[in-house]
Amino acid sequence: MKHHVISFANQKGGVGKTTTCINLAGALSHKGKSVLLVDMDYQSNLTLGVGVDPEVIEKGMGEVLLFRDTSFRDIILKSSIPDADIAPGTMSLSKVDINIASRRDRHRILHDKLIEVKDKYDYVFIDCPPAFNLLTINALSASDGVLIPVQCYPYSLSGLNTLLEIIEDIRYAYNFDLEIAGIIPTSYDTNTKLSSEVVDELYRRYGGKVYDTVIKKSVKVAEAPVHRKPIVDYAPWHPVAKAYMELADEFLKREGE
């Protein structure tokens, strides 16, 4: 296995980080893989999307990062995905940046806390916020791989080089084991030529880093989180659900399994 702890990162919002994280985890659970989902975004969309209400949680990832005596064992919950647990995100994550900024270990708190639980799972998926702050730096410092969802829109390409440069900067500053695990094209619109052109440009620029599996745009993908399930469980017959199963196959192949 090439990568064990994988961040889903992109500084642009709405590109499908959380959706990809949930649905890839759901597809992997159908293939017998266990996943720990770590929600590092105070909007808590990952947490909500797997059936946990952040409003009723006493402790979440914010407390893990803020308080030395709070561990992952204190916060991990079962999710709606078989064989997937959730380390939930809550509004307390919004306090993390300002409160840990003066700590000498501020970039590796997540790395050090994650050690106690990560080996219990086949994979750890970390859903990053759409910003390069200390939450994202902690996520990348704890990871050995990064998956980058990219919408098949022209503007999505504009910031990708910058994103890769920032990831490389974090690699050299904090985590030399960090690698790009792949770029996943999402929101592919079959009704326009633009999506096809974006995918062609991704392959031209980044070659083998780009996944062959392309996730098409679909209302069903947006519906599934409302029902607190990945689309492979909510609508397994749907073409996009089948695409996520294909994505899981390609993921495992790339990871040497």
Give 200-252 pLDDT, tens digit per residue: 999 999 999 999 999 998 777 777 777 888 999 988 899 999 999 999 999 99
How many independent structural domains does the chain possess?
Answer: 1
Q: Is 117 helix (H, G, I), strand (E, B) or coil?
A: coil
Please give the residue range of the domain that contains residue 146. Answer: 5-254
pLDDT given at position 156: 77
Give 155-165 pLDDT, tens digit per residue: 777 778 888 99
Query: Does the pLDDT of residue 108 top 70, yes or no?
Result: yes
Question: What's the CATH number where 81 sits?
Answer: 3.40.50.300
Instruction: Retrieve residue 60's tokens.
Output: 């979440």
User: How far apart (Å, rounded) are the C-alpha atoms in residues 8 and 6?
Assistant: 7
Alpha carbon 145 to chain centroid, angstroms: 11
Predicted TM-score (pTM) of the model is 0.95
22, 72, 14: which is closest to 47 by C-alpha?
22
pLDDT given at position 139: 97
